[in-house]
Amino acid sequence: MVNAASILKIVATAAKPWAELYSDSRAVSSAVTFFHLGGLLFAGGLAVASDRATFRALRGNDEDRSRLLVDLGNAHAWVLAGLSVMFASGLLLALSDVKTFGNSPIYWTKMSLVVLLLANGALLQRTERRLRAESLPAHSTSPTHRLWARLRFAAGASMTLWTAIVLAGVILVDSS
């Protein structure tokens, strides 16, 4: 019967040549960790800076908010590019020791947080697109007021999730 343990065993066997290269070569392991943290610098750095800009624009005037919507639109591609680098390097990190990471509750907690981060990113992008389409002032009683409140929530959730994932990543290194 196929269960989690047997799937992990199959993946560990397939990943063995990579795991050996990763543990034998300091250059390879450093390069993969560099890409993981480099992706974090760009994706996480830009995402958190955009979240802060959202809070500032919500306290500003209509011009600040329309400029924010343009900036958020431009930031998505960079954040997604950084996240793609993190996913590719993260997968290589996980395949370097399938047995340890596959059985680690910290690893699966981190992956659950990453899924929440992606869902929140989709909510943020959808809300910003609708606001750009409507571009009505923030203080009206129209649904747009609810959209700005949702953008505030998504920005707060983004900051919290990025911080929580970094914490989980660091604990993961110390526990592996």
Binding site for ligand HEM (CB under 6 A): 33, 36, 40, 44, 86-87, 90-91, 93-94, 101, 114, 117, 165-166, 169-170, 172-173, 176
Nearer to ligand HEM, 79 or 151 (CB): 79
What is residue 82's DSSP assignment?
A: H
CA distance 82 to 100: 26
We find the least distance from the C-beta atom of residue 136 to ligand HEM, in angstroms, to be 33
- Tell me the C-alpha distance between 52 and 56, whole Å: 6
Closest CB to ligand HEM among residues 33, 66: 33
Q: Does residue 80 contact residue 118 with C-beta atoms inside 8 Å?
A: no
Q: Which is nearer to ligand HEM, 86 or 154 (CB)?
A: 86
Q: Tell me the helices (H) and strands (E) count for the chain, helix number first.
A: 8, 0
* Structure letter (DSSP) for residue 157: H
Compare residues 72 and 86 and give the one whose CB is closer to ligand HEM: 86
